[in-house]
Structure 1
């Protein structure tokens, strides 16, 4: 008999600060929370969906939420979509994932919108051991690391896939499916933030496992004119082995993975509103053929690159 996992879900909106504080403390990793409705017309909204292995939370408030977070059974990351935030008094950047440590940390969010992801800690440690060729066990992450460029694009590629499955997928899935999706999310986290097993003197800049080397090489050279042969050679894999590894870890070929990374880089560049043209952004992101770039961008995001570029300038 196939084991099934139920994805719990709920969505709540309130104008009562006490109710909002109680809702925040229901997130498994939050030990305490207070809510200050510093403005008139206070509102708080929270939506959650997922399982003990993997879940997503969205929160928004016009007030100030403060609390203590202690990530115990899960790796917990959040990213601000708007508003202000700080962890242990240090401001956090908007639009970048922030990882909570295992020990208690103080968090403050002010007039904000944010998303949060919980990934089962044991799964992350198992995937890290496979990628890094070490024995499973506790791992450390580089403190205060903020991913940029291709590694940030790889993070958003994972988040988009996980959100599509968790938020729009069925309420009941097989345990095997949920565990594989959790492993996929763990891989996105491990790609985005440097890590190493506890007790190692120096962090590894590249994992020992061949797939991890292949992925690291691809991301490091994502904006250059590299080929599948280049990636395979850098990792000591055959072309077939490389293809199989990417399908196993990402569900797509290395060519598709590279194209989507470049597209996310291009979108970030187009949304930046800097003085580059659409063609400049495309070339800086690794696209040599501008016509193909426009078609791929439209297929991926539903708009043409110029529309994104123009919208950024109107803002």
Structure 2
């Protein structure tokens, strides 16, 4: 990943992960930079004449991960955001108003920065935030009730996590993806980045109440058949090395995402993505068994099949096959 620093210049998102940085002590410069960075006008004011702000953003297709810190109390008056911004207050305090929500947040809290498409105001005390900026189109595709339908925009009905457990899950997911992007081998894999995008989007939908969280319809229950399952299994077997999502699998099976999930629960007692995980583990096992240990590593095989954490891959592998992956790689050497 590349790192650039700038003062008052908006960054252009790359098609591969890269990191940019910004620092300024001028409120007007900060306003202009943040307006460009978030694609919405922001007016920033402060009683401090030199409010230092530091902004570090890792760009990836479909999302950005950010660390933002500042030294003074800043007041924001923001125009409607075109993205979903998920905020974790590491050491700062916030008071934010958007729509019918007017809340105060302490260090360690998780919230949405604003309702997408609606203006907001915010007072941010000195300290650090981490944020995730998600492309709304990614959320809409994942939440689409049927793959052949035009995605309906997801509408969030709360700016706060629906439970403390959900907030903890978001923090864990954010930290996991941050670690992934800090790993050059993982960050260079399109499969892993696509999986990270999907993971963040599904975690956001699970953390905050929204219009996508509905039960299967009568049509979904009717379509959750063995034929649907066979189509899905065939597609997964043929495309396990590709960057596929649950929406792609549903499209191949010619049913809605909820019908697909119901079919896997009915006939396999699992989920589509859990089955994909199992298939990729099988491919990794075959590669380990046939690879030359002098030119191949366990970490490389794990990354090839979408496993970003070698230690976690080793645990999954041992659970499935009873031996560590290194044993399979070296047994013929």
> Smaller-chain TM-score range?
0.5 to 0.7
Alignment of structure 1 residues 145-224 onto 2, 5 Å: 145-169=160-184, 173=188, 175-196=190-211, 204=214, 206=215
Find 1:7's aligned residue among 12, 17, 26.
17
- Corresponding residue number in structure 1 for 2:35: 25
* Displacement of 1:59: 0.9
Aligned length: 221
Relative contact order higher in (CA < 8 Å, ≥ 6 apart): 1
Partner residue of 1:93? 105
Query: Do the aligned partners of 1:53 and 1:182 also contact (CA within 8 Å) in 2?
Result: yes
How far apart, CA to CA, are the structure 1 residues paired with 2:146 and 2:109? 24
Q: Unaligned regions of 5+ residues in structure 2, if any?
A: 1-13, 222-261, 282-314, 316-333
Q: What's the RMSD between the two structures over aligned residues?
A: 3.9
Where structure 1 has 5 or more consecutive residues not aligned to the other structure, the ranges are 198-202, 211-233, 254-298, 300-315
The TM-score normalised by the length of structure 2 is: 0.54
Task: Indicate if the aligned counterparts of 2:180 and 2:186 stay in contact, CA closer than 8 A.
Answer: no
What does 1:1-315 align with in structure 2 at a 5 Å threshold?
5-38=15-48, 42-65=51-74, 66-72=76-82, 74-88=83-97, 90-94=102-106, 95-99=108-112, 100-101=114-115, 102-129=117-144, 136-169=151-184, 173=188, 175-196=190-211, 204=214, 206=215, 237=265, 240-242=268-270, 245-246=273-274, 248=276
CA contact (8 A) 2:54 2:69 kept: yes
Paired residues of 1:54 and 1:117 also in contact (CA < 8 A): yes
Report if the CA contact (8 A) 1:17-1:37 is conserved: no
TM-score, structure 1 as length reference = 0.57
Q: CA contact under 8 A between 2:71 and 2:126: conserved in structure 1?
A: yes
**Partners of 1:251 and 1:77 in 2: how far apart?**
32
Aligned to 1:13, the other structure's residue is in SS state strand
Q: What are the Cα deviations for residues 163-185 of structure 1, in whole angstroms up to 9, with x where unaligned? A: 11234446964555433321111
Contact between 1:125 and 1:136, CA under 8 Å: does it hold in 2? yes
Gap change, CA 1:98 and 1:235, over 3 Å in 2:
farther
For each residue in 1:207-226, what CA deviation from the matched residue of structure 2 results, as whole angstroms up to 9, or x when unmatched? Answer: 6689xxxxxxxxxxxxxxxx
Q: Note the C-alpha offset of 1:247.
A: 5.9
Equivalent residue number for residue 280 of structure 1: none
